[in-house]
Chain A
Amino acid sequence: MTAEISSTLTKYIAEKILKQPSRKLVAHEPIISSGLIDSFSLVDLALFVEDSFGVRLDDSELNATTFDSIAQLTKLIQSRQVK
C-alpha cells in the first residue's frame, strides 16, 4: 500500500509538476523546502491527492512543516485513510 501511494505520487510529481518524466525522486528527498515544488503547484498536489486517495489536505497544511517529502506525504495520506 505504502509503495503504491508513494509511486503514484512520484509519478505525478515528476510528470505533471516537474515535467521531467524520467526524473527520479527519493522517498526522503525534500520537495517543498528545496524549492522542487513551488507554491503555485501545491494546490495541484492537494487536488491530486484528493482525487486519487480521497484524502483532503487543508490549505493550511500545504507547507514544509506538515510534509516535505514523498515519504511524509504518504504517511499523512495513510493516516487519514484509516480513519
Chain B
Amino acid sequence: MTTFSEKLAQLLKQSPERMCVTLQQSGQADIQITYSALLGGAQGFADALKKEGILPGEVVILILQHGEALIYSYFGAIIHGSIPSIMPFLTEKLSPDRYRADLSALIAVTRPAAIVTYAEFENEIRGALREDDSVRAVIVTENVTPQIVDLSSWSGLQRNPQDIVLLQHSSGTTGLQKGVALSHQAVFNQLDSYAQVLFLSEQDVIVSWLPLYHDMGLIAGFLLPILYGVHLILISAFDWVRAPYRLLQSVSEYKGTLTWLPNFAYNFCAQKIRDRQLEGVDLSSWRAIINCSEPVRWESHQVFYDKFKSYALREDALHTSYAMAENVFAVTQSVLAGLPKVEEIEREAFMVDRVAREVISGPAMKVMSSGRPLPNVQIKVLDDKGQEVAERKIGEIALKSDCMLTGYYNRPDATNEAFLDGWYLTGDYGYLSEGEIFVCGRKKDMIIVGGKNVYPQDLEALTYEVPGVHAGRSVAFGLFDDEQGTEEVVIIAEVDSDEEAEQQKIADLIRQHVTKNSAIALRHVKVVGPKWIVKTSSGKTARSANREKYLQEIEKDSHP
C-alpha cells in the first residue's frame, strides 16, 4: 500500500518532464504543467503551510477558482500531509452574506487550521472568522511562489495509508455540513480497480471541464490522471458553460480519450454548439464518454451521438457509471466493449408492483444500465425492511467495498446512520438484472440540477424569508425536463393576495432571494392565492401532491 506523497515522489523521479496537466482558460494560451512544475508549485504551498505552523493531519480549506493556484495548493497540502478540501468560490449570483454563513458552517464542523485564497478575497474570508474558531492562518496565493522540490521536507511521506488524505463536500447548504473523509488506501483501492475496468494506460488523455469541488471532477477529472501518469486537459467549468464547444475542440486538439459528464451536458452540447464552431474537429480518439452523477438517459446519448457523429464520434464511446463520493467515486461502470444495455419496462408494473418487467405491450419506460459493479464493490438491493429483494425487483441500492469513506468528518452520528450491518445505504432506488444495475429514483427528497444536489427543504426555507410568504406555505420540487436532460426547480408559494400584479412582484422577489442564497437558478416560480397548496403530514408527500396539481394545471393551460 502506498500514500499520495509516495506516489507523487515516484512519478517525479520517473518522469519529471512528463506532461501532467494542460490548463485551459478562455482568452489565454494553454498552460502546460509537467510533474516537476506541479510539485515545484506544490512545494511553495507546502513551505507556506509549514511556516504558518500548520500540522500534518490538519484540514486546509481551498477557496480558489480554476487555475494554477488551486492545483498547486491542493498538492501542496497533500505533500505537507495536511488534508485539503475545496470549497466552491463565491459567484456573482450568490449573496456574500449567504456565502459567509455557509463558510462559517463549514468551519464549525470541519475545524480547518488554514484557508488558502486570493488577496482580493482575504477580507471576505477574515470577515467570516471568529476569534475562537479553529483557523490559525489565511494564506494568500499571491505571496506563494514555486520552490525547488525538497523531498526531505515532505511531511506527507510520513502519512500512513489508512490516514485521511482529503475531504470532499457535496454541494448544497445541507451538504456543506457533511464532509466525506477518504483515506489514501480507499482512494487507491478505488482508482486501481477503476483503472483496470477502464483499461487505463499512460497513452490515455483525460479531458474535463468539471469543477474540482465535486467528486466526479475531483476524482475522475483530477486525481485519477495525475496519480496515474495520464495527461489531463483541464477546462474551466465557467468557460465551458458559456462555450460548450471548447470541450470538443480540446478533445480534437489533444486527442482526448476519456471524459466524464453529467447527463444534462449531453443535451447541452447537442443543443448549444453550432457546426461553425467545430470546423476541423475530429473526435475519433474519444474512446469513452462516461455519463455519471445524474440519472442517465438513453435519449441524451442519442441526441449527442446524432449531433457529433459526423465529427467521427464513435457510438460505442458512450458509456455510463453510477458513482458517489462515499465510495470515493465509481460504484459501477458499463462494460467498455459495446453499448450500455437499454431496457423497456412496463410503466405500471414499475409504479405499482415495484418490479421491472420487460414490456410486451402497453405503456413502457426506457431505462439505461449503469453497468456492473467494480471488481472491489458488492451491490445488493433492499426492501423497506432491509431484506434483499429478488432480481428485477426495485428497492434501495446498498453497497460494500474496500474503498468506502472513513466517515463523515467530525460527524459520527451521520456516519452511523448511513450504514446498515456494514452496508452503505445509498438512498437511490434501482434494480439488478444479470449483474447490471439500473438506477431509477431516489429515496431522499433531493433534486439534482445539472449534477448539483439540491434539497427542497433548503429552498422552501429561503422562500419563507420573502415578505408576503408565510412559513409552511411553500413547496419546492424537481421536474424532469426532457429537452434539457436534467431536473428543473419549481417553487410554489401561497400568498394572501389574489391580485396578479402583487403575486408577480412576490414571484420576482422569491426568484431573486433564492438565487442569491443558493446559487440555484429557478425555472418556474408560481405564486398562488390562499388555499392552493395541498397540505399533508410529511414534506415528501406534500411535494409530490403539489407537483401533481401543478402538472395538471399546466396540462389544462396547454389544452384549454
Contacts and interface: CB of A to CB of B under 8 A. Distances in A.
Interface of A: 19, 23, 32-36, 38-44, 46-47, 58-60, 62-64
A19 B523 contact: yes
Contacts of A59: 26, 239, 242-243, 246
A23 B105 CA distance: 37
Please give me the 6 A-B residue pairs with the lowest Cβ-Cβ distance, nearest first: A35-B515, A38-B521, A59-B243, A59-B242, A62-B242, A60-B27
Contacts of B523: 19
A35 B27 contact: no
B92 A40 contact: no
B243 A33 contact: no
17 contacts: A33-B93, A35-B512, A35-B521, A38-B93, A39-B521, A40-B268, A40-B521, A41-B521, A42-B241, A43-B244, A43-B272, A44-B272, A59-B26, A59-B239, A60-B27, A62-B242, A63-B92
B241 to A, nearest CB: 5
Given A32-B92, A60-B27, A42 B516 contact: no
- Identify which of A19, A34, A46 gathers the most chain B CB atoms within 10 Å of its CB: A34
A53 B99 CA distance: 38
B26 A40 contact: no
B250 to A, nearest CB: 14
Given A39-B241, A40-B241, A47-B272, 19 more contacts: A19-B524, A34-B515, A35-B512, A35-B515, A35-B516, A38-B93, A39-B93, A40-B450, A41-B521, A42-B241, A43-B241, A43-B244, A43-B272, A58-B26, A58-B27, A59-B242, A59-B243, A59-B246, A62-B242
Nearest to A57: B242
Interface string B1-42: 000000000000000000000000011000000000000000
B375 to A, nearest CB: 37
Interface string B236-248: 0011011110100
Interface in B510-551: 511-512, 515-516, 521, 523-524
Interface footprint category on B: 20 to 34
Contacts of B272: 43-44, 47
Contacts of B450: 40
B242 A35 contact: no
A50 B239 CA distance: 18
Nearest to A65: B92
Nearest to B526: A20
A54 to B, nearest CB: 13
Contacts of B524: 19
Given A40-B268, A40-B450, A35 B93 contact: yes
Contact of A33 (B92, B246, B274): B92
Nearest to B500: A22
A60 B25 CA distance: 10
A41 B243 CA distance: 11
Interface string B270-293: 001010000000000000000000
B426 to A, nearest CB: 27
B240 to A, nearest CB: 9
- Identify which of A35, A40, A60 gathers the most chain B CB atoms within 10 Å of its CB: A35
